[in-house]
């Protein structure tokens, strides 16, 4: 598998994230919090991870939920997939929301999301007077039926 170098700095006591299996697409990140954080139903919290990245130009990182947390506890990433821009140098944060009807307690060092590296293609708008015709035309949002 092709590997892309991504610069990283970590806060004290934060471990460098690692892939949990050889074929994993996502690399888990953990909550860098001192004590547990209570998330009430429908509450959201911007969870710090204690890592900062230097993504090479032409790439992005997506912040995605962990399916286990979603399935077992209704905890997901509100803005999924979150986008980490290659020019961002701040701390990576994960915006969790509790979609269950029970309180969820985020534990220090709990793995709360996963990062996926992706390639970015830049749009280069070609301004035109009209666009090519297609069978679909402007039909969308379910116009082909259920």
Ligand X SMILES: O=c1ccn([C@H]2C[C@H](O)[C@@H](COP(=O)(O)OP(=O)(O)OP(=O)(O)O)O2)c(=O)[nH]1
Q: Which residues of the shown chain bind ligand X in the complex (CB under 6 A)?
A: 63, 79, 82-85, 88, 92-93, 95
| Element housing 72 (H / E) | helix 67-73
85 is in an annotated binding site: yes
Minimum distance of ligand X from residue 36's CB (angstroms): 21
The DSSP bridge partners found for residue 8 are 53
* 62 SS3 class: strand
Minimum CB distance to ligand X, residue 133 (Å): 34
> Has 87 been labeled as part of a binding site?
no
CB-closest chain residue to ligand X: 82
Cβ nearer to ligand X, comparing 104 with 114: 114
| Annotated binding residue 84 | yes
Sheet with 82-84, side-by-side order of all strands: 27-30, 111-119, 59-64, 82-84
Nearest distance from C-beta of residue 125 to ligand X, angstroms: 20
Strands (E), 65-110: 75-77, 82-84, 91-98, 104-106
- Of the candidates 55, 64, 74, the one whose C-alpha atom is nearest the C-alpha of residue 5 is 55
Residue 67 is assigned to a ligand binding site: yes
Judged by beta carbon, residue 73 or residue 91, the one nearer ligand X is 91
Q: Which residues are annotated as a binding site?
A: 66-68, 79, 83-85
């Amino acid at each position: 598998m092709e590997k892309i170098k991504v610069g990283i700095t970590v806060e004290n006591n934060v471990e460098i994230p690692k892939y949990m299996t050889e074929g994993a697409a996502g690399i888990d990140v953990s909550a860098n919090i001192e004590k547990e954080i209570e998330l009430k139903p429908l509450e959201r919290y911007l969870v710090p991870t204690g890592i900062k990245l230097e993504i090479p130009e032409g790439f992005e990182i997506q912040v995605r939920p962990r399916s286990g947390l979603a399935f077992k506890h209704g905890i997901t990433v509100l803005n999924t997939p979150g986008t980490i821009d290659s020019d961002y140098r701040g701390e990576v944060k994960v915006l969790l929301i509790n979609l269950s009807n029970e309180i969820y307690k985020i534990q220090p060092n709990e793995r709360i999301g996963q990062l996926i590296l992706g390639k970015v293609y830049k749009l280069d708008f070609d301004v035109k007077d009209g666009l090519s015709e297609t069978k679909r035309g402007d039909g969308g949002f379910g116009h082909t039926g259920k």
